[in-house]
Structure 1
Amino acid sequence: MKSAAASVAALFACLSPLAAQEVTITSAQGGLSVTGRIVSYDGQYMRVESDYGPLTVDYTTVQCSGAACPDPAKYVPRLRISGEARATEILLPALLDGFARQADLTAQQIVTDDMLSGIMLLDAQNAPVLDVPVLPSNSAEAFADLVTFRADAALSFREILDVENQRAADVGLADLRGLGHAFILGIDALVPIVSPLNPQRRIDPGLLDAAFTGDVTVWPDGTPLSLHLGPELDGQADAFLASLPGDAAFLTRHGDAAALSAAVAEDVGALGVTALSETGVAQAVSLVDTCGLVSAPRISSIKTQDYPLTTPLFLTLAQQRQPQIVLDFLSYLRSPEAHLIIRRAGLVDLGVVPIPLDGQGGRLAHAITIAGVDTPLTELQRMVQLMHARARSSLTFRFDVGTATLDPVSNANLLTLAHDIRAGLYDGRDILLIGFSDGEGPALANLELSGERATRVRDRLLDVLGDDLPETVQIDTAAFGEALPIGCDDTARGRQANRRVEVWIGD
């Protein structure tokens, strides 16, 4: 008899092709016939890519001919995942294993030629209940796999680009940045690194940008700068380059984080950017801007994205319609058990933590120091009075640059806040959404804009909640414009950090 693992591997090989053969779909009356490639099937609805565009049909109402036609009696839900090797090879198997244990299932990893090729979830009778083919790649290839229907989900350390999202639209996929498509599994932080022989222990975020765009080519002491990043097409390196205010200057790319760290450590003039957990033998340096504001990659500042060099880990689904077991897995990702697994993988989870007012003395002191005619002391006193009876939540909302659209992390935070309200975590408490702005433009206009953004977040939250808002939960808004900056307005990063809506929870 075959071993259980061998049997599962054989079944996995049968179930998990990344490219399906063509099938022909015929309506029950026979008046309509379409030939195409199966994109997805959830046990009831099937999506076919045809010469006429994507077509979704109720499989129970059509006839299907072709070797790839699914047999409903043998249907096993499938979620084909392509993405960053660090996520697909380490974090994803651990999350699926945790989910399986919680659901009284077994997670069987399928390994071929020393490479993970997928995971099968089995019930107590060793019958498959979820087939998860895994394709280690990179962010760019993962999004390409979505567009070519070779994958159902992409794991990436960067958001889908406009051009990639447009390609998705061209093949009939919805906006892959929207609710129900883009999920955040966790957040990592990037840090600048230098040689231990370099006396610099702080760097201005503006200088960091200027160095990587070629506007600054030497250190303050005249030492020539050399720039270093991780591998080509690495999602975190790509996310950093995309955040620059201009095109990147000449830089050296390294095959992995260890090689990057070693190269920077050996060169006194080197400047690199790497993941917080992978600084290695190089020296990490702090971000301190020209306003004197220090940005440190602490857990709380990464969760709030007040630290400017954060790289969320995105799980982007091509289709909102998913089998129930996949929806259960997505729900599990919000659980404390999943958050623990995410932390063990070296990421910061999206679990909500309170940030007491006592822990925010630095930014309050800075606000008082720079207060002037546009932000009088009485306004700061009013702000502190509102905050004094509350604690800041790590949930923070920000908007895509130049738009009224919440960014992907904020969309995830919106769903988390709605979920926790429904679960009763805020019963008998008030939720205050406080809007802030950058300092560009007239102070009064910024005050009004920050209020509009806070109101927009409240309206979105109420839309998501529908009729599920408990009577004992009160949601209010306040606005203080440019009164409490967390970054300098002389850089795009600083302005983006300042444009936010904070969540403050009352007792």
Structure 2
Amino acid sequence: MNPHQQSFIEQLKQLQSVAQNKYGIEIATEKFINDDNYRDLVLSELGLLGDSELNSVIEALKQPNPEIAPLPERPAQGSKNSLALMLAGTSVAIALFVAGYLMFTGQSSDVQQPVEKGVKIPVTEQVITAQAKTAVTSPKAPQAQLAFRIHGSNTIGEKLAPALLEGYLREQGAEDFQWQQGNVVVERELHYQLNDKPYYIELHAHGSSTGFADILSANADVAMASRKVKEKEVTNLKPQFGDFSQVGNEHIIGLDGLAVIVNQNNPISHLTTQQLADVFSGKISNWRDLGGSSAPINIYARDAKSGTWDTFKNLVLKKHNASLSDAAQRFESSSELSQLVSQDEFGIGFIGLNYIVHNKAIAVSEGQQTAPIYPTRFTIGTEDYALSRRLYLYTPTTADMFVKNFAHYAISFSGQEIVADTGLISQNIHVEQVKAPNTAPALYKQYADQGERLSLTFRFQYGSGQLDNKGKRDLQRLLAYLEEYPQKRVVLMGFSDNSGDNNKNQSLSTQRALSVATELNARGIPVFDTQGFGEVLPVANNDSEQGRERNRRVEVWVL
């Protein structure tokens, strides 16, 4: 045997080995060598598998050989059907297998009649042919199974919920994510593979109220809300789905806030929420009425589909029974709105924190009794800033573990990192030096000068030292932080609303600080000092339940 023949035989053996080991295909040695048509068609059909290891051997076997008839070039992809109809003997089995394999892997193959009548196939080839027929006639891929349905707030459903869902599913080992659009813009499905099975999650974002209504009607498993559940909703849901006011069912997943911006040359530095409502409704239309120059106020607002608009509408306009002025210019793009305000000395708009850019963000207060506060991620995180609000997920007590684990993931450190990545405010703890207001008590100023404030603030139910649901979760976050920084000395400073007399409020604020200290001490965390300051330094108006709730708080400082 000359070197050319030896090389050809070795390449053939390699081809046989790969075809047999990877695909269970047997190639007849003598027929491959002696039958040009058989050899050509075997190489062509195996080439359709797209296997790189096979292809390298196929190309070598196609090289001209002085002892072996020259092999033709591989036929074009469009010739699959005609090739299959030409095959006989062992090549029939290969064609059948390839056809089945291509169909199974989703590649194009229209082979309809690969076996000619009267052709005899050896037993081993019959087995392969049977396998190929099974692949060709196999049923469609199994239908995706519904994992759960999450309905409600568009603010959450637009970006945050999709990001949290993908993050959670990745932790579970899911892959092959595909979002499919529904009949309307705010309806989508997330399809994915988990443990080699197809699933999907239904996401509908028609508004907060629809989440609770859909759970009540058994059309949803998780409710998204950019507001707290209402008492009536709690009452309706409780008999069948559990108490949605309790920490096991209510999950605060992040905070939302926005900035009110004016041109950098505008002398106005702060406004109340009432003044903002009057400006954006058109009731106040000239800057001189706010202490500025005599010039008309030009209003810039986000479009009606925007989550930023939804936040502003709820925190400013609805709060003061106002509606947006018809003279307002509406924008789909945050960047465009920000740019136009920066070019208009008499413009005013509202925007996400990331889009302030060349403008000036003004401080906002909830009334004459409260200090104006500038919008930062820290002041929104502490909920001291007026234009901040909580975002929620609500799950029934009867929810399965997959749903409960998703809600837990959303409030975990990893989930909160995703919250920050989407432009909302994470509840993961940050530390910042904060200057005390001039009206603060002397001891408060002393601790503010010496220490730093943490970005979480504990808040309480009316008339008690009982933490609200966010406070109960924040306690776990504080414990984790102090375990990481054991050298930090903790100072807890409590405050109350103005309901009742001053002495009672002073006592109640001290009691609240002590209640947090007790929780920390019980877990091995010492507290350096606790103080109660009563109703001083309100961060919100006391003329509404929401304002009073924000004023009932314990600030956490570290030295």
Normalised TM-score (structure 1):
0.64
Alignment match, 1:145: 214
- Taking a change above 3 Å as real, the CA distance of residues 320 and 209 of structure 1, as seen in their structure-2 partners, is farther
The offset of 1:178, in angstroms, is 1.9
Partner of 2:311 in structure 1?
236
- Indicate the larger mover: 235-244 or 274-283: 274-283
The code of the aligned residue for 2:510 comes to G
Q: Residues 165 and 389 (structure 1 numbering): CA distance in 2 closer, same or farther, change over 3 Å?
A: same
Partner of 2:193: 122
Say which of 457, 469, 482 aligns to 1:396: 457
1:171-210 equivalence runs, <5 A: 172-194=240-262, 196=263, 199=266, 201-208=268-275
Alignment counterpart, residue 156 of structure 1, candidates 205, 222, 225: 225
How far off its partner does 1:344 sit?
1.7
Aligned pairs (5 A) from 1:236-385: 236-241=311-316, 244=319, 246-249=320-323, 251-252=325-326, 257-258=332-333, 261=337, 265=341, 272-277=349-354, 284-287=361-364, 293-317=371-395, 319-355=396-432, 359-361=433-435, 363-364=436-437, 366-367=438-439, 380-381=442-443, 383=444
The 8 Å contact of residues 398 and 410 in structure 1, kept in 2 or not, is answered as yes
The alignment partner of 2:429 has SS state of coil
Q: 1:308 touches 1:493 (CA, 8 Å); kept in 2?
A: no
Change (3 A) 1:349 1:148: same
Deviation by residue 1:92-151 (Cα, 9 ceiling, x = unmatched)? 33223333333433252341469773234533x4125x6422123222322322232211
- The answer on whether the counterparts of 1:230 and 1:237 sit within 8 Å (CA) in structure 2 is no
Distance in 2 separating the partners of 1:341 and 1:330: 13
Indicate if the aligned counterparts of 2:513 and 2:532 stay in contact, CA closer than 8 A: yes
**Residues 142-169 of structure 1, C-alpha deviation per residue, up to 9 Å, x if partnerless?**
2322232211112232222344434434
What does the per-residue CA deviation read over 1:191-239, in whole Å, with 9 as the maximum and x for residues that have no partner? Answer: 2245x49835423225435627979534451566687575279642453
Rg larger in structure: 2
Alignment identity in percent?
A: 24
What amino acid does structure 2 have at the position aligned with 1:104? G
| 2-structure distance, mates of 1:279, 1:9 | 49
Matching residue's letter, 1:248: A
Q: Distance in 1 between matches of 2:344 and 2:546?
A: 28
Q: Normalized per residue, which structure has more strand?
A: 1
Does residue 446 in structure 1 map to residue 517 in structure 2? Answer: no
Q: Please tell me whether residue 11 in structure 1 is matched to residue 143 in structure 2.
A: yes
Q: Which residue of 2 aligns with 1:32?
A: none
Counterpart for residue 33 of structure 1: none
Q: Look up the match of 2:110.
A: none
* Inter-partner Cα distance in structure 2 for 1:403 and 1:150: 37
SS at match of 2:455: strand
Correspondence for 1:372? none
Secondary structure of 1:175's partner?
coil
Unaligned 5+ runs, structure 1: 17-77, 369-374, 463-467
Higher relative contact order (CA 8 A, sep 6+): 1
The structure-2 alpha-carbon separation of the partners of 1:243 and 1:131, relative to structure 1 and needing over 3 Å to count, comes to same
In the TM superposition, what whole-angstrom CA distance separates every residue of 1:16-48 from its partner, at most 9, and x where no partner exists?
A: 3xxxxxxxxxxxxxxxxxxxxxxxxxxxxxxxx
Q: When you count helix as a share of all residues, which structure comes out higher?
A: 2
The alpha carbon displacement at 1:450 in A equals 1.0
Provide closer, same or farther for how the CA distance between residues 282 and 414 of structure 1 changes in structure 2, counting only shifts above 3 A. same
Q: What's the offset of the Cα at 1:402?
A: 7.5
On the 8 A contact 1:435/1:479 being kept in 2, the answer is: yes
Residue 105 of structure 1 aligns with an amino acid whose one-letter code is A
Partner residue, 1:502 = 555
TM-score if structure 2 supplies the norm length? 0.59
* 1:88 maps onto 2:157 in alignment: yes
Judge conservation of contact 2:439–2:537 (CA < 8 Å) in 1.
Answer: yes
**Separation of aligned partners in 2, 1:481 and 1:255:** 43
The answer to whether structure 1 residue 211 and structure 2 residue 278 are counterparts is yes
1:251 deviation in Å?
Answer: 3.8
Specify whether residues 140 and 334 from structure 1 end up closer, same or farther in structure 2 by C-alpha distance, changes over 3 A only.
Answer: closer
Q: Extract unaligned runs of 5+ from structure 2.
A: 1-102, 107-138, 290-294
TM-aligned CA distance change 1:152 to 1:490, over 3 Å: closer
Report the secondary structure of 1:119's partner residue.
Answer: strand
Change in CA separation of 1:102 and 1:263 when aligned onto 2, cut-off 3 Å: closer
How far did 1:262 drift? 8.2
Of 216-225 and 90-99, more deviation after overlay is shown by 216-225
